[in-house]
Amino acid sequence: MGDPAGVAPELTLKAWAAVRGGLHRTLIADADANLLAETAARHRIAVSISRIEDLGATPSMQASEDVLFVRHRPIGAPARAGVPDAAHAAAVIASLEACAADALAGRAAAVVTNPVSKHTLHAAGFPFPGQTEFFEDRAGARGLMMLVSPKLRVVPLTIHVPLRDVPDAVTREGILGALRIMDRVLREDFGIPQPHIAVSGLNPHAGEAGDIGTEEIDTIAPAIAAAEAEGISARGPLPADTMFHDAARTGYDAALCMYHDQALVASKALDFDNGVNATVGLPIIRTSPDHGTAFDIAGKGVARPDSLIAAILLADLLASRREGAQ
C-alpha cells in the first residue's frame, strides 16, 4: 500500500503497467481499489482492476495482462496527494501486517512495500523505527537492510538510529553477525559462489591508526578477523569516503557500513533510480524502492517508477532462486 497521500498509488499503477506479463508470479496490490481507480483515471493509465478477497484464490486466476488484482483495503479517509493524513496510518499498518503474514504462511512468494511515512506511522503507535525492523520482528530473525543496484550492494550495520547513539551500537558481535548473514545471502540469494565483502570504518579515514577514534582497532578489525577465521572473505576497515568510487567497487561484491548515511548516501548518489531496499537474511523476501513518499511530487504524474519496478523484479528473482533451491 505505502502512504496513500504519497506517490505510492501512482507508482503501483506505473510499475504494474511496466512489469505485467513479465513476472514469474502474479502481482497483487494490497491497497485501496477506489484510490487506484481514481489515480489511474487522473493519470490516464489504462487498467482493469479486479478485486480479490484472499490470496488463496490466485492460483486459479487467469491473469489477463490488462488486469491488476487488488486486495481491497479501504484507507479510512480520502487521500489528498501530498498531504499526509494520520487517518491512513491504520490501513497502512494493517497492510504491512497482512502482507507479512501472507509471506510467512507461504501464501505470498514475496512482499514489495511502497514507501511509507515513518513519522505518520510512529504517531499512530507503530513501535518500530522502520519497516525493516517490523519485518525482522514478525519473522523472528535478524535481518539486514541491503541497498541493491546494478552499481552497488551495501548494508548499513545500524539503521534508523540517531547518530549520537551509533558508536555504542557498533559492536564486534553485531559486525560478525552481519558478515555471516551477508556471506550467506550473497551465496544463496544472489548466486555469488565466493563473495568478497568490504567493511567500512566508523571514523574519518578509518580512525587514522587510532588518532581519530579507536573503534576500528578495538571493534571493527577484530570482528573482521573473526569472520575471516570462519572462512568469510571480509576486508577492512576501509575509509568510507574512498571505498565507493568506480575502481574501488570492483574489489568487492557487497559492502558493510557502520551507519545509515554511509551506506545510503553512497547507494542513492550512485543510482537513485534503480536502487532497491531489500530486507535480507529473513525467511521471507521483502523489497522496497530506495526512495520515500515524495509528497512534494505526489499527484503530479511525474514520479519515476523505476525503483519500484526494480524492487518488484528483484523480489521475483529472489523468489525464483529460493524456489529453485528447494
**Partner that binds at residue 293, options ligand NAD, ligand 4TP, none, CB closer than 5 to 8 Å by kind:** ligand NAD
Residue 132 interacts with, from ligand NAD, ligand 4TP, none (CB under 5-8 Å by kind) = ligand 4TP
Decide: 270 and 151 in contact? Cβ < 8 Å: yes
Do residues 185 and 146 touch, judged by C-beta distance below 8 A? Answer: yes
Tell how far CA 99 is from the center of its chain: 14
Taking CB under 6 A as the criterion, the residue among 264, 270, 312, 318 binding ligand 4TP is 264
> Taking CB under 6 A as the criterion, which residues in 287-326 touch ligand NAD?
288-289, 291-294, 296-297, 303-304, 307
The rounded distance, in Å, linking the Cα atoms of 231 and 28 is 41
Instruction: Rule CB under 6 A: choose which of 12, 39, 95, 117 binds ligand NAD.
Output: 117
The C-alpha cell that represents 273 in the structure block: 533510480
Enumerate residues 6+ apart whose C-beta is below 8 A from 225.
none
Judged by CB under 6 A, the number of residues near ligand NAD is 19
- Tell me which residues in 126-145 interact with ligand 4TP (CB under 6 A): 130-132
Q: Residue 86 corresponds to which amino acid?
A: A
- The C-alpha cell that represents 27 in the structure block: 502481482
Q: Which one of ligand NAD, ligand 4TP, none is in contact with 245 (Cβ closer than 5 to 8 A by kind)?
A: none
Q: Look up residue 315 and give its three cell numbers.
A: 523480489
Which residue's Cβ lies closest to ligand 4TP? 130
Least distance to ligand 4TP from the beta carbon of 41, Å? 30
132 binds ligand NAD (CB under 6 A): no
Tell me: does residue 290 bind ligand 4TP (CB under 6 A): yes
HSE at residue 83, side-chain half, CA atoms within 13 A, is: 5
How crowded is residue 64: how many other Cβ atoms within 10 Å of its Cβ?
Answer: 10
- Contact segment (CB under 6 A) with ligand 4TP among 31-39, 64-72, 93-101, 124-132 equals 124-132
Determine the interface stretch with ligand NAD among 13-21, 49-57, 143-151, 285-293 (rule: CB under 6 A). Answer: 285-293
206-225 binders of ligand 4TP (CB under 6 A): none
Is residue 223 within 8 A of residue 175, CB to CB? The reply is: yes
Q: Which stretch binds ligand NAD (CB under 6 A): 90-98, 109-117, 244-252, 255-263?
A: 109-117
Beta strands across the sheet bearing 254-257: 111-112, 286-289, 276-280, 144-148, 153-156, 254-257, 196-200, 233-238
Pairing mode of beta strands 254-257, 233-238: unpaired
Q: How many residues bind ligand 4TP (CB under 6 A)?
A: 7
Which triple of cell numbers denotes residue 45?
493509465
Separation between Cα atoms, residue 156 and residue 236, nearest integer Å: 15
Closest CB to ligand NAD: residue number? 292
Are residues 176 and 197 in contact, defined by beta-carbon separation less than 8 angstroms?
no
Q: What residue 264 binds from ligand NAD, ligand 4TP, none (CB within 5 to 8 A, per partner kind)?
A: ligand 4TP
Is residue 82 near ligand NAD by the rule CB under 6 A? no
Interface residue list for ligand 4TP (CB under 6 A):
130-132, 264, 277, 288, 290
Interface residue list for ligand NAD (CB under 6 A):
7, 115-119, 131, 277, 288-289, 291-294, 296-297, 303-304, 307
